[in-house]
């Protein structure tokens, strides 16, 4: 029984990091296709990142809500940093079935931001970092072995403890 539980925990950890790495992959190489982006059909249900705080001003959503690993994901983003970014910490809480994984790590602007958004230099002053647009990701195949419902909470704070981002996501991988 203990071996089964350890196996399930290891699979959930792998799934959590696979989702996180997939998230970084499409942030790292987004293809802005403004002239070909379809906003989806009315019957498609959209997934949303739910803000942790009532005063959060970002809006992030995706189509389709349920992710098909063999398909693509259309991500809509509108975000402007609410505080200065130089360094800080990010936290990721992932729930998959009865398994709950938490991880946190430091965020260093000069190490992390230029890799994802090379047109920004550090530190980034309040209001100077914006992501607006629709991005298509076709790298969902990494999720093919992790079907089921995932609940994620992602939070990022700067070195002064000011929230840069906090959101929860619930999605199902088909």
Query: How confident is the model at residue 43, as a pLDDT?
Result: 54
Q: How many helices (H) and strands (E) does the chain have?
A: 2, 10
Query: How confident is the model at residue 50, as a pLDDT?
Result: 93
Whole-number Å distance between alpha carbons of 45 and 28: 26
**pLDDT of the chain, 174 residues: tens digit per residue:** 333 433 444 444 444 444 444 444 444 444 444 334 445 555 568 999 999 987 777 888 988 999 888 888 888 888 888 999 889 998 999 998 888 899 999 888 887 777 666 677 788 888 887 777 777 877 788 888 888 998 999 998 999 999 988 999 999 999
CATH code: domain of residue 67: 2.70.220
Residue 168: name the closest of 40, 71, 53, 63 by CA.
53
Whole-number Å distance between alpha carbons of 62 and 49: 9
What is the tally of structural domains in the chain? 1
Whole-number Å distance between alpha carbons of 134 and 142: 21
Pairing of β 148-158 and β 163-173: antiparallel
Query: How confident is the model at residue 91, as a pLDDT?
Result: 92
Whole-number Å distance between alpha carbons of 80 and 77: 10
pTM, to two decimals: 0.69
Residue 156: name the closest of 78, 63, 56 by CA.
56
164 contacts 83 by C-beta, under 8 angstroms: yes
Q: Given CA atoms 113, 16, 171, 26 in this order, what sign does their dihedral have?
A: positive
Chain centre distance of CA 68: 16
Query: How confident is the model at residue 132, as a pLDDT?
Result: 77
Provide the β-strand partners of residue 152.
Answer: 94, 169
Q: For residue 158, give its domain range.
A: 2-173
């Amino acid at each position: 029984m203990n071996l089964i539980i350890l196996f399930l925990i290891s699979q959930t950890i792998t799934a959590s990091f696979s989702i996180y790495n997939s998230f970084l992959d499409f942030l790292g190489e987004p293809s802005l296709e403004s002239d070909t982006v379809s906003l989806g059909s009315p019957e498609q249900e959209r997934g949303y990142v739910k803000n942790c705080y009532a005063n959060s001003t970002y809006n992030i959503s995706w189509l389709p809500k349920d992710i098909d690993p063999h398909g693509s994901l259309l991500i809509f983003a509108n975000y402007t940093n609410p505080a200065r970014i130089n360094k800080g910490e990010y936290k990721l809480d992932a729930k998959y079935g009865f398994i709950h994984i938490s991880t946190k790590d430091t965020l260093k602007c000069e190490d992390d931001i230029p890799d994802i958004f090379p047109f920004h230099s550090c530190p980034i002053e309040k209001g100077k970092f914006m992501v607006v647009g629709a991005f298509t990701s076709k790298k969902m195949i990494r999720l093919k072995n992790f079907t089921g419902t995932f609940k994620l909470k992602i939070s990022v704070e700067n070195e002064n403890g000011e929230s840069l981002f906090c959101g929860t996501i619930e999605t199902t991988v088909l």
